[in-house]
Amino acid sequence: MTTWNDFNSAEDQNNFDVIPKGTLVKVRMTIRPGGYDDASQGWTGGYATQSMTTGSVYLNCEFVVLDGPYAKRKMWSLIGLHSPKGPEWANMGRAFVKGILNSSRGLHPQDNSPQAQQARRIQGFADLDGIEFVAKVEMDKDQNGDDKNVIRTAITPDHKDYAAVSGNTVQAAASTQPASSSQASASAPTGRPSWAQ
């Protein structure tokens, strides 16, 4: 019988070791909405968060490993949108989102074809909420000084291990990427490209 005053029979806590630095994993990113909008920047839908202490604006993201030995493990990272200190944090955030789009949609970073350029555009942050891509696990320190895993780098198709980690991502991205506007409208009656559905 389970009682709430004797915990000897309770299971032990899961004590996960951190994922080794540099491990490549396929993840699904979700954005934890912060309720901050600035339509002049294209930040709508309440996805962005503004820090009350620093004034910086960011996407508060959770990354869940989809498969492999670390399946279902979660990591949290911020994607910078604006910092009062200057453009560097926002530029790093834009580069990371570009990498996420390249990884998710199977785009080679040097591909500047009209189709690739279109695939690197989003209607809004909702297009990033739930996106799946290949990521590199990195290390940081939590508030107690302990190691924690973070995601700051998306792995793109030019990486030697991308295809092995992504599984069907390359084929899916290639087959759903619109080749022409007529194909896009046939596969996406909403008028949005099929990859943005």
pLDDT in tens, 51-105: 999 999 999 999 999 999 999 999 999 999 999 999 999 999 999 999 999 999 9
Q: Which residues are 80's β-sheet partners?
A: 58
Residues 6+ apart with CB under 8 A from 70: 19, 23, 25
pTM, two decimal places: 0.78
- Phi and psi at 192, nearest 5°, equal -90, 145
pLDDT band of 190, cuts 50, 70, 90: very low
Residues 6+ apart with CB under 8 A from 78: 58, 59, 60, 61
pLDDT in tens, 139-177: 999 889 999 999 999 999 999 999 999 985 443 334 334
49 near 43, Cβ under 8 Å? Answer: no
Q: What 8-state DSSP symbol labels residue 104? A: H
What's the mean pLDDT when you consider all of the chain? 85
105 by DSSP, 3-state: which?
coil
pLDDT band of 17, cuts 50, 70, 90: confident
